[in-house]
Structure 1
């Protein structure tokens, strides 16, 4: 490649805020929840760079084809790879796209095709735009993508805070997870938290039915969470991000609940199952097994320690993907006053549906 910026380039990041910032010099964009991707194109050469600097190119051949058809011949564009499904984004389908088998990659590209949503222009032709203010980069991006068509999109943008608040409240129903604010004079700072993001935050009381060890030693890595649905305890995700000292304390706190934990445990079959690598054979559609192999790292140990499902924890989370947490939950406090059987899906706030097509054409 012969570009002013060559891969890998780390994307500019955002710091979290609880309220939408306001000011005359701010731009607001919907916050897309997919795979962050910096696209490098030099003629027929295309590389899709990820946030962790591992190329996504081989997993999304349809995005590569769209880039060649619609982006300028020499450019570097920051954006998000998403998978639309009906009237919303489908994050679980996006996760499934990361597969080692080439034949599977091609099949999934046809069955669950991805789109690319562009929101910043880092280079055009032989010119690097990193030092240019965002307002100029946005104007150049709009010119560069003036003739773009699905599956390549230019993200919506507004300078009106009231419009941004409406987006925050309504766009979640289409699978988005907040709003991003950028200053008009903001240069592009790779790996720097120079933008501001406001995401949805909710709480839920969940049953703790197991835990995983931390990779560094005999301390707790994450708590396995469940909610009851028609009398069955469904695994919905994990709570983690504990300080190291707290992880050690949790080992002692959880020890009494390990005794005879598998006797009548709702996930007993999962603990006993011999799961083929890369498969979720014990469950089937709509559920996930706590001990399943990670598709991101086949060597990662996801074995778990069962606990009697008697503890309830309050967690903070952003949103659900189907019946599971989209991201790792954050531990808030124990809830000894709650009966585990009362921890059901009914307590969860479900966003009102919103047509994704309206977001993509904003």
Structure 2
């Protein structure tokens, strides 16, 4: 593998499953890791310079100068690491991952970034190796890549860590419950014999609830006439078309007004400077209701919680969870969604 300042690969992805799978469900067995709640990152080190790429191919290097310094100082040689950038807060003995602290790092002002790097420094948790000075490891099994990762990066010291790994499914199920209290959000199961396949959902993830990363298409004004009443959400289909999949609402009065300000730079405007409005399809539930919305540039990504899908839409109004500034809108596809296996109703009826 050429150690390049530009990410040559997309990270391998995971597909949601309802529970921690048994090791025998996959040929060659499974290895289980905690699912870290941070920014997915691929670190490129050529022996001198460091570049950090995100899952959406956005460069994260400038936002984490303390990690750039640590990689330069600690890594023993050229390599490409796959892992997660995380931030922690709390008193010793009661620390936990802090997503809000982490997202504050995506800021345009270098002075602000430097200040936060000193006050709340980030960590990197490595869980895969894509290459080293000897070349690419993409065509090696995860079992081999993990062994090489441990030899290369094990014991480097804070802030570069290795993720825990076990082949014990029962222990992984305990992790799913116990590690939630530390801010982790699930367990990832990795086929031990699997090659590294960029952009493919080869791994399996069991989380505490269903979530999806969606594109914000626009917003409806609240019925009171003030603030955002609901966000319109979209996902890209296999043809690359952006489809409306539902909405997120239930914001407080204060939050509704804040959202108007936050989303103002994304509002699509006509030649005269007026906001462009659209209208969603009417249904029997929207008869007589205002279905118009303010159009937004489809670049902002949000993580939402949902219970199930009905066709290509969320069955119920979803809950807004957080913004995802590390995600590229084009990466928000239907493939990420957990799809229940079809079941014949006659087999349910008595």
Q: Same fold (TM over 0.5)?
A: yes
**Which one of 94, 108, 122 corresponds to residue 114 of structure 1?**
122
Could you tell me how far 1:299 is from its partner in structure 2? 4.0
Structure 1 contact 57–64 (Cα < 8 Å) conserved: yes
Cα separation, 2, equivalents of 1:127 and 1:13: 22
- CA RMSD of the aligned region, Å? 3.9
Q: Which residue number corresponds to residue 9 of structure 1?
A: 9
**Per-residue CA distance 1:268-293 (angstroms, 9 max, x = gap):** 7964xxxxxxxxxxxxxxxxx22243
Q: Check if 1:301 corresponds to 2:267.
A: yes
Query: What's the offset of the Cα at 1:148?
Result: 1.1
Question: Could you report, residue by residue, the CA deviation over 1:188-221 in whole angstroms, capped at 9, with x for unpaired residues?
Answer: 0111111111111179xxxxxxxxx964xxxxx4
CA contact (8 A) 1:37 1:48 kept: yes
Flag structure 2 segments of 5+ consecutive residues without an equivalent: 223-227, 269-274, 278-285, 287-301, 307-313, 319-350
| Aligned residue number for residue 228 of structure 1 | none
Instruction: Write the distance in 1 (CA, Å) between the matches of 2:145 and 2:182.
Output: 27
The residue correspondences of 1:42-57 to structure 2 (distance < 5 A) are 42-57=46-61
Would the aligned equivalents of 2:154 and 2:161 in 1 still touch at CA under 8 Å? no
Alignment match, 2:182:
174
Q: Aligned partners of 1:224, 1:148: CA distance in 2, in Å?
A: 52
In 2 relative to 1, CA 270–177 (structure 1 residues): closer, same or farther, beyond 3 Å?
closer
**Under a length normalisation based on structure 1, what TM-score does the superposition of the two structures give?**
0.63
Q: Equivalences for 1:306-325 in 2 at 5 Å?
A: none
Give, in angstroms, the shift of residue 3 of structure 1: 2.1
Q: What is the alpha-carbon distance in structure 2 between the residues aligned to residue 329 and residue 269 of structure 1?
A: 18
How many pairs does the alignment contain? Answer: 262
For residues 161 and 328 of structure 1, the distance between their equivalents in structure 2, rounded to whole angstroms, comes to 28
2:200 paired residue number? 192
Conserved 8 A contact 2:81-2:126: yes
> CA separation in 2, counterparts of 1:249 and 1:82?
30
Measure how far apart 1:9 and its partner are. 2.0
Alignment-derived partner of residue 353 in structure 1: none
- Unaligned 5+ segments in structure 1 are 204-212, 216-220, 226-234, 255-264, 272-288, 306-310, 312-325, 336-362
**2:19–2:206 Cα contact (<8 Å) kept:** yes
**In structure 1, what is the equivalent of residue 87 of structure 2?**
83
Q: Tell me how far 1:119 sits from its aligned partner.
A: 0.1
Structure 2 length normalisation: TM-score? 0.65
